[in-house]
Structure 1
């Protein structure tokens, strides 16, 4: 039987403290609730591959990959935005995700993957991402730190609703996504790691979240 307090935490819309946020999420405080991935092309909305793009990116090991096909397709992904010269929110959120990884146990790297995409691709080379990930203890299999051409990274961030003209202004919300199943949950990073891990498991298994007090996102 699921813990009702944990299920309630999944949908909470409490605002993140200043130490964990450069800015409010682009969709405002309602961004902690569920959000729909774009519907199939037959409805007039682009499919996930087209919407999220096949941007040519590189990970922290310098390997080239396509954003949809290699980072999102067929996976449940917990995605966040960061930049390597950040000294406050980004390291804190990375360490929070390390705790989420622990809560996921064997599901990490098999059912659930982590993706961190830079908001500062002009400066964040694969080498810079590697150094950042290693410093935080996050350079592990199943966790990709991504950069690429600014135009392509900016487009991805805009599609996520996480773009800012200033690198430090990116939204700090976590995106938990199975884009092929068109399921997304946006959660604030200061929620309990167990709650974030549970939300990722629910999306990975296709189960709806339990009832909670949070309103639906726009």
Structure 2
């Protein structure tokens, strides 16, 4: 009888130890999950601190978009020619995706004209073009950051005497950590097939 009781106590102690070890593992995992995210990769564009104010007047660093792939382009709201084609291009790529893929992709249009592209102007374009705010963000950086972000995205621009801009246009695909995966300068309703393939691959 004595041996049986001791054996039972030993089993209970073992069970308790296992429970404590499992609880400790869960706690450690929770601490890791609740802690800081891992460092950004060396080539991440999110290494640059870039506060952006969106069409709803909310300001956040573009690094907050980390976590899912992004289509990024530069534009300005008063543009009558190229910039509407940039929006058309983003919509055309969306049409190549199913609903689940669309929800995994963010589309960010960054203004090169922050002095005029205040939230009201950005929202006007978003509403007029019927851009889904759950996927599309139109935002303005600080004036001092425009040239820096344009350089990172490979966008050339020049302010003209009449207040308009002469600029190149491109859609840049970033992975979930802000690294450039692909780029296209083909604008319009017929998207570049290779670029669409790159987008779909990034969403897998």
Q: TM-score, normalised by structure 1?
A: 0.64
Mapped contact 1:101–1:197 kept (Cα < 8 A): no
The structure with the largest helix share of the pair is 2
Alignment of 1:1-218 (within 5 A): 40-41=41-42, 47-50=44-47, 53-68=48-63, 70-71=64-65, 73-166=66-159, 168-178=165-175, 180=177, 182-190=179-187, 192-193=190-191, 195=193, 196-205=195-204
Partners in 1 of 2:126 and 2:152 — Cα distance?
Answer: 25
Which segments of 5 or more consecutive residues in structure 2 lack a partner in the other structure?
A: 1-39
Maintained 8 Å contact 2:55/2:119:
yes
Residues 72 and 172 in structure 2, CA contact (< 8 A), matched pair in contact too: yes
Structure showing greater Rg: 2
Verify the 8 A CA contact 1:103 1:194 in the aligned structure 2. Answer: no
What count of residue pairs does the alignment treat as equivalent?
Answer: 159
Report the Cα offset of residue 109 of structure 1: 4.8
TM superposition shift of 1:163 = 4.1
Question: Offset of 1:184 from its aligned partner?
Answer: 1.7
Structure 1: any 5+ residue segments left out of the alignment?
1-38, 206-218
Query: What SS does structure 1 have at the residue aligned with 2:98?
Result: helix
Higher RCO by CA contacts (8 Å cutoff, separation 6 or greater):
1
Structure 1 vs Structure 2 CA RMSD:
2.4
Mark the CA change 1:184 to 1:66 in structure 2 (over 3 Å): closer, same or farther: same
